[in-house]
């Protein structure tokens, strides 16, 4: 166990140590050493009282704004995407009709639409949420439709023979068996939502993590700039890991079922 931990972590420690030593020796203001980034991080967000998990007021404002928009947009896109995806996935003609349009919408890089959304919704929470939701709804739809299409027709027929109605079939057969594909879509889209959250805040916002990045850039506070980047990286890492865990927990039966089949 300890040996495995060592095999996985020695390079991380080495890289951070080398980063510290090299940046200290170089004295280059663009590349502050970690020992300067951490205090900057503390000063920016984490010098609050222990009862608030050390978060200060700025942190509460920034994180609640950014994460609020992120999850609002993500949940909106998930709800719409799964419903539309199931609807079009069940019918081959409908799917063939809408697929080219969906593929095109997915191909449009959402950041090109941020200025348009700003004109439409001004600098508001709605703008942030709509940017995120619009950007990620297409992969959710396409993945869900793909998952629903792949449901074994024999299972659906079996359910029908046993007198399970269309709604019952949807919840007991179709959705569970499409779950792995749907989950994959949700995980990819959460990572993408984080990208869109940052770009929407960079282009048009005065609050949130992206706004802190722009502030640090304009006031040339390099340690703060690096600190925000590290936090954003950790957030992405955390989200991805959390969804993988949920996926493993909820889909454990699925991997088991597939294994016993083959």
Partner 1 sequence: MISAVSRRRALRGLAGIAGAVGLAELVSRTGLVDQTLIPPISVVLQRAGGLFTDPEFTDGVVATLEGWATGLLLAVAAGVLLGLLLGEVRWLGTAARPIVEFCRTLSPVSLIPLAIVLFPVTFQMKVFLTCFAAVWPILINTLYALRDVDPVAKETLRSFGFGPLAVLWRVSLPAAAPFITTGIRIAASVGLIVIVSSELLAGDGTGIGGYIMTTQSSGGHTDLMLAAALWTGILGMLVNSGLVQLERRAFRWHDRKAAA
- Residues lying near partner 1 in the complex (CB under 8 A) are found at 7-12, 15, 30, 93, 96-101, 103-105, 107-116, 118-120, 191, 194-195, 198-199, 202-203, 209-210, 213-214, 216-217, 220, 222, 225-226, 228-229, 232-233, 236-237, 239-240
Q: Cβ 21 to partner 1, closest distance in Å?
A: 17
For partner 1, the closer of residues 142 and 173 by Cβ is: 142
- The vertex-252 CA angle with 2 and 89, nearest 5°, equals 135
User: Is the CB of 175 or the CB of 202 nearer to partner 1?
Assistant: 202
| Best CA proximity match to 66, nearest among 234, 196, 244 | 196
Kindly tell me which of 48 and 247 has the beta carbon lying closer to partner 1: 247
Q: Residue 129 or 198: which CB sits closer to partner 1?
A: 198
Instruction: Using the minimum distance from each CB to partner 1, give the nearer residue, 145 or 228.
Output: 228
Q: How far apart are the first and last CA of the chain?
A: 32
Residue 176 CA to its chain's centroid (Å): 22
Using the minimum distance from each CB to partner 1, give the nearer residue, 21 or 120.
120
The alpha-helical segments, DSSP class H, found in the chain are: 2-26, 34-44, 57-89, 92-107, 114-121, 125-149, 153-161, 166-169, 175-204, 209-218, 222-250, 252-261
Angle at 218 between CA 233 and CA 227, to 5 degrees: 25
Write the CB contacts of 148 (distance below 8 Å, at least 6 apart in sequence). Answer: 85, 86, 89, 90, 174, 178
CB 249 to partner 1: min, Å: 20
Which residue number, 4 or 249, has a Cβ lying nearer to partner 1? 4
Shortest Å, Cβ 66 to partner 1: 11
How many angstroms separate the CA atoms of 221 and 224, rounded?
Answer: 6
Give Cα separations from 247 to 31, 143, 147, 243, 260 (angstroms): 38, 15, 15, 6, 19
Least Cβ distance, residue 258 to partner 1 (angstroms):
19
Query: Measuring CA to CA, how many Å separate 191 from each of 71, 162, 164, 184, 204?
Result: 11, 41, 37, 11, 20
Shortest Å distance, C-beta 125 to partner 1: 18
- Closest contact distance (angstroms) between CB of 161 and partner 1 is 30
Closest approach of Cβ 63 to partner 1, in Å?
Answer: 15
Pick 25 or 107: Cβ nearer partner 1: 107
| Distance in Å, CB of 115 to partner 1, minimum | 4
Q: DSSP labels for 185-200?
A: HHHHHHHHHHHHHHHH
Q: What is the Cα gyration radius of the chain?
A: 23
């Amino acid at each position: 166990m300890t040996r495995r931990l060592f095999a996985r972590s020695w390079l991380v420690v080495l890289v951070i140590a080398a980063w510290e030593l090299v940046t200290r020796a170089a004295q280059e203001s663009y590349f502050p050493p970690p020992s300067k980034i951490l205090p900057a991080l503390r000063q920016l967000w984490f010098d609050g009282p222990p009862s608030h998990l050390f978060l200060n007021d700025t942190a509460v404002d920034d994180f609640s704004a950014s994460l609020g928009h992120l999850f609002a947009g993500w949940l909106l896109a998930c709800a719409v995407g799964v419903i539309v995806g199931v609807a079009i996935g069940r019918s081959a003609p409908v799917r063939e009709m809408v697929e080219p349009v969906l593929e095109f919408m997915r191909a449009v890089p959402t950041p090109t639409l941020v200025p348009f959304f700003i004109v439409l919704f001004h600098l508001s929470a709605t703008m942030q949420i709509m940017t995120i939701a619009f950007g990620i709804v297409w992969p959710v739809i396409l993945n869900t439709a793909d998952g629903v299409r792949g449901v074994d027709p024999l299972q659906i027929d079996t359910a029908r023979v046993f007198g399970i109605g269309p709604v019952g079939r949807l919840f007991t057969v179709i959705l569970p068996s499409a779950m792995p594909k749907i989950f994959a879509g949700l995980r990819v889209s959460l990572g993408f939502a984080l990208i869109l959250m940052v770009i929407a805040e960079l282009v048009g916002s005065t609050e949130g993590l992206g706004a802190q990045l722009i502030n640090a850039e304009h006031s040339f506070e390099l340690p703060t700039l690096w600190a925000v980047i590290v936090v954003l990286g950790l957030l992405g890492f955390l989200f991805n890991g959390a969804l993988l865990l949920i996926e493993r927990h909820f889909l454990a039966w699925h991997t088991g079922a597939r294994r016993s089949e083959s």
